[in-house]
Amino acid sequence: MHAFEQYAARIAHVGQSLGLSGDQIQTLLTPDRVIQKTLSVDLSTGHQELSAYRVQFNNARGPYKGGIRFHPAADLDEVKALAAMMAIKCAVVGIPFGGGKGGVMVDPKKLTPEDLEGIARAWARGFADDIGPLVDVPAPDVYTTAHLMDVMVDEYTKLKPELGAQASATFTGKTVAHGGIEGRDTATAMGGVFVLEAYMAEHALDPNDMRVAVHGFGNAGATVAKLLYDRGFDIVGIADSKSALMSEEALDPYVFDAAKQSGKTLIEAAQGHVGLEIGTPDEVLTMDADILVPAALDNVIAPGKGVAEELTAKIILELANGPTTAPADALLEARHIAVLPDVLANAGGVAVSYLEWEQNMHGATLGREAVNSRLKEIMTQAWHDVSEHARVHSVSFRSAAYALGVKRILNLR
């Protein structure tokens, strides 16, 4: 199933349980606007005309919110799905944003830093009349950075001087020096940890008894591994796109993250460590562990691949977008595996983006400790809302999260 088909299947399931009308379901499946433009840019290789887009899916609860990606094979089906899921995600965690997504069809690996800045400025110019602090608030995404958000703000401010200081609130994910917020760098992982801790508190589980496997050792995966390690969890497996390291005695994610940051592969970093088993990335998904954290790719847990049937973890913390397919949901539920779904578990990033937006709109400044405190409140409350709905209606946590998000978007009781 393609990304939007996965989303549509879940909406159909929730729509049936909530008794939604055809018109209500159609509202949840139809973007408000799909804006496509051509950017005219002078690059180091010469002048180019680049296709750019913005999907503004739903703003029933507030400004559209979502990232801007620079990618050569930008798939509008996937982008539309991510924009729709962002609307659900913001509603689940109770922040006043809707869902959006956008980008430019270009290969950033073939461009200089100056080229990327030029494209960022062109995007800000091209979409200046379609975005704004109360209209649509973009953020970094695939191959875009905090620095490029700074560049976009700089260009946008020139075009919208009437907004004054609030022009900065049109983009989140900026560097701290240019209106960004402390704690955004760890927000996705930290939010997931807060959800997991809330789940474990409800079920009287002890972190010291929990073995964790992390599939995806990029920024989010490495950060969540370190955060859980600090809290007493045993990290028994980590995997990046090339290989995996597994250990019955657990491993120190700080050591392997530092090695990766220095340019080493996981296999090179494993040299000299006793008791480590080296395997393929997907072996981490089914290794002996209590908690599985898919933190990189979508569709990695699916029936027919053997993963949904063979994984041993009893808790799945979805830090990636869409790691579990819709057909796998029923199988995992039948196996009594608790899936803490992506629309809740990885919402820490957009929750802190909301705090950044709020900071820019009102001129207040929050430090990292205050940001994490606010984030914990947001994520813990969201977990309790989802958990209560799941208990009362005897449904999975994903079904509960989608139901809550849908009800809030449609303003249903």
Q: Which two tokens stand for residue 7?
A: 């989303």
Q: CB burial class (10 A; 0-12, 13-18, 19+) of residue 4?
A: buried
Say what the pLDDT of residue 211 is.
Answer: 98
Non-local (6+) Cβ contacts of 377 within 8 A are none
* Parts of the chain belonging to CATH 3.40.50.10860: 31-168
Q: Is the pLDDT of residue 175 over 90?
A: yes
Query: Measured between alpha carbons, how far is 161 from 289 in angstroms, rounded to an integer?
Result: 54
Q: Is the pLDDT of residue 74 over 80?
A: no
The CATH number given to 186-345 is 3.40.50.720
Q: Which two tokens stand for residue 277?
A: 């088993």
Q: How many CB atoms lie within 10 A of CB 216?
A: 25
Contact 98, 61 (CB under 8 A): yes
Q: Which two tokens stand for residue 288?
A: 């002996």
* Parts of the chain belonging to CATH 3.40.50.720: 186-345
Say what the pLDDT of residue 76 is.
Answer: 82
Say what the pLDDT of residue 335 is.
Answer: 95
Query: Measured between alpha carbons, how far is 126 from 36 in angstroms, rounded to an integer?
Result: 10
Q: Is the pLDDT of residue 200 over 80?
A: yes
Q: How many CB atoms lie within 10 A of CB 284?
A: 28
Backbone φ and ψ for 160, nearest 5 degrees, come out as -125, 60
Say what the pLDDT of residue 1 is.
Answer: 73
For residues 298 and 180, the model is more confident at 180
Query: Measured between alpha carbons, how far is 102 from 89 in angstroms, rounded to an integer?
Result: 17
Say what the pLDDT of residue 83 is.
Answer: 96
The tens digit of pLDDT for each residue in 325-339 reads: 999 999 999 999 999
Q: Confidence band (pLDDT; 50, 70, 90) for 413?
A: confident
Pick from 218, 208, 203: nearest CA to 293: 218
Active site residue 65: no
Whether pTM > 0.85 for this model: the answer is yes
Q: Is the pLDDT of residue 154 over 80?
A: yes
If you average pLDDT over every residue of the chain, what do you get? 96
For residues 248 and 95, the model is more confident at 95
Q: How far is CA 168 from CA 53, 63, 148, 222, in A?
A: 21, 15, 13, 30
User: Under CATH, domain 31-168 is a member of which superfamily?
Assistant: Leucine Dehydrogenase, chain A, domain 1 (3.40.50.10860)
Widest CA span in the chain: 62
Query: Measured between alpha carbons, how far is 63 from 78 in angstroms, rounded to an integer?
Result: 21
Contact 256, 226 (CB under 8 A): no
Q: Confidence band (pLDDT; 50, 70, 90) for 2?
A: confident
Catalytic residue, chosen from 101, 174, 226, 260, is 101
Say what the pLDDT of residue 306 is.
Answer: 85
